[in-house]
Amino acid sequence: MMRIPGGSVALLLVFASFTQAADPNKCSVKLAASEAPKELAEPIRQLLGSQSVQVSEGDKVLWEVWLPKQLEVKATGDEVKQGINYRKLEESTILGVMRVNQAWNSFRKQNIKPGLYTLRLGFQPMDGDHMGTAPFNEFLLLCPAADDKKPAILSHKDVTELSGKSIPGGSHPAVLLLFPNQKPGDKPELANKGSGNWVLNWKTDVNGGGQKGLLGIGLTLFGATTAE
């Protein structure tokens, strides 16, 4: 999904490093009763629940994330019971919406402006350009909400171009690394995964093979690739 040229590089919900501002040790996480933003296109807004996860430092909300009410997954009922992973979803599936309230850096060290973004699932290509750029191959792609009008599955080319609009003058998608989260807890949390990576762990309801279950999401809010 994300083509990272050699020499430049690329949750539970997983995100990137905050620009010289927030201290993850001082951040708090909570669930809040919060309707999905009215500025979203209505077909996308209807996908989302009426709660958000807010990540704050002191009294300032840095990120606010809304997850889908329920996702349809490519899995049997038994697989859903045992727990599923990101690969049971189609690439470019909308996994949520994120409001960014302060300048930020993506996992690929791209500058992200404050604003409202959809979060679409992306899989890293298995090619030489991407070797060693990240510990996992699943990402969320930030897409400007103003340009993302329909929840339909997009082609590789279309979702890459859409996400590229998140970066002023950029063409590479804005990528947020996903960590696996096979056993999500009862409350959202910001977890230290080491190597400077702090991950927002939470979950969303899924349905597959007539069986309801959960998908744990791990979004890396703090952390960046070590590749140059």
> How many Å apart are CA 150 and CA 181, to the nearest integer?
27
Tokens of 49: 């629940």
Residues 165 and 148 sit within 8 Å (Cβ to Cβ): no
Distance in angstroms (rounded) separating the CA atoms of residues 43 and 41: 6
User: Looking at residue 208, what is its pLDDT?
Assistant: 95
Instruction: Provide the H-helix boundaries in 8-166.
Output: 42-45, 77-82, 156-164
Torsion of CA 72, 75, 77, 82, to 10 degrees: -110
**Rounded alpha-carbon distances, angstroms, from residue 195 to 199, 202, 228:** 12, 21, 16
Task: Return the DSSP state at 205.
Answer: E
Residue 75: its pLDDT value, please? 92
Return per-residue pLDDT of the chain as tens, 228 residues: 444 333 333 344 544 444 445 899 999 999 999 999 999 999 999 999 999 999 999 999 999 999 999 999 989 999 999 889 999 999 999 999 999 998 777 666 677 889 999 999 999 876 545 455 667 889 999 999 999 999 999 998 899 999 999 887 766 788 889 999 999 999 999 999 998 889 999 999 999 999 999 999 999 998 876 655
Name the pTM for this structure: 0.87
